[in-house]
A = this chain, B = another copy of it.
């Protein structure tokens, strides 16, 4: 994983800036012969796209995806399929407002990458954060949608499990609720309460962080690899690469530090189809390799850095000043990070599936 490319056998390269003509992704290494359509990809993109409730940015983007390559419809069966060659996906930017950028051109916005891009490159696309914009995540979601097609046996879902200091009650957890509220939250009660909370945050000219939990069911034992190719290490890299993410946890995560070895042990019992685990503190991964239990990853997103409340900063000429961001922004970027987290889980798993198959010749573990 380096530069703008993620993955090894199944891999993708994203490109594009917030206010350029378009953004896109090239997915390379996809297995051939998989039925695919723009609609299948659009479905995931539509979940991430802005402007779907008052709790996300009001920027209007259709995020309509076009498949430019890597697929073929044989006239004899009339089904569009992957060919094994690179799949180029393009999304037009349609709502880049023309505006005066001089404020952010000449100031470093706290929490943004303005200062660091400027230091690194000596040049900075100050229009809508350029490459550092969360707009890039649409490309990830598109890649993730292709990845899902590679591992249809795996069910990947995610939920917002914390907004600001407010955690969900896992007792209320119901995957079916995720699409019934504007927060992708599996706890309908929490989601209800968060509405007022987030309205307050927004009206106060502030923003708030969040925690997202992503769960993959149906991952067989055996995916992943020691030592630097651990499934957990790749998931950590994948999630930490998402804009604004500051922490990644697998299974028990940070809580594992507080447990004793007696408590933390996921004991095993003989099952009809082989050994089973009595708990899943491991989050479905031991030694970097999947156990067959659900793969559970959580990641924490910091509050949106673009807020109306003025913050102290400096100009690019190193003079003290203040800045407040008046644009269209998500009061809680964590919300739209939910489908993004799913996408990153999908690309990591698809890649490890192919890598495992390459080394061992098997799709899964040796079985029982």
Contact = CB atoms under 8 A, between A and B. Distances in A.
A366 interface: yes
Nearest to A14: B227
Contacts of A110: 265-268
B256 A300 contact: yes
Contact of A226 (B81, B122, B132, B210): B132
A82 B207 CA distance: 33
Contact of A302 (B23, B233, B264): B264
B222 A116 contact: yes
B249 A246 contact: yes
Q: Counting chain B CB atoms within 10 Å of each CB, which of A30, A204, A264 scores highest?
A: A264
Nearest to A2: B229
Interface residues of A, number: 165
A271 B224 CA distance: 42
A88 B110 CA distance: 29
Contacts of A64: none
B240 A246 contact: no
Interface string A233-244: 111111111010
B303 A256 contact: yes
Contact of A84 (B121, B259, B271): B121
A350 B225 CA distance: 19
B3 A11 contact: yes
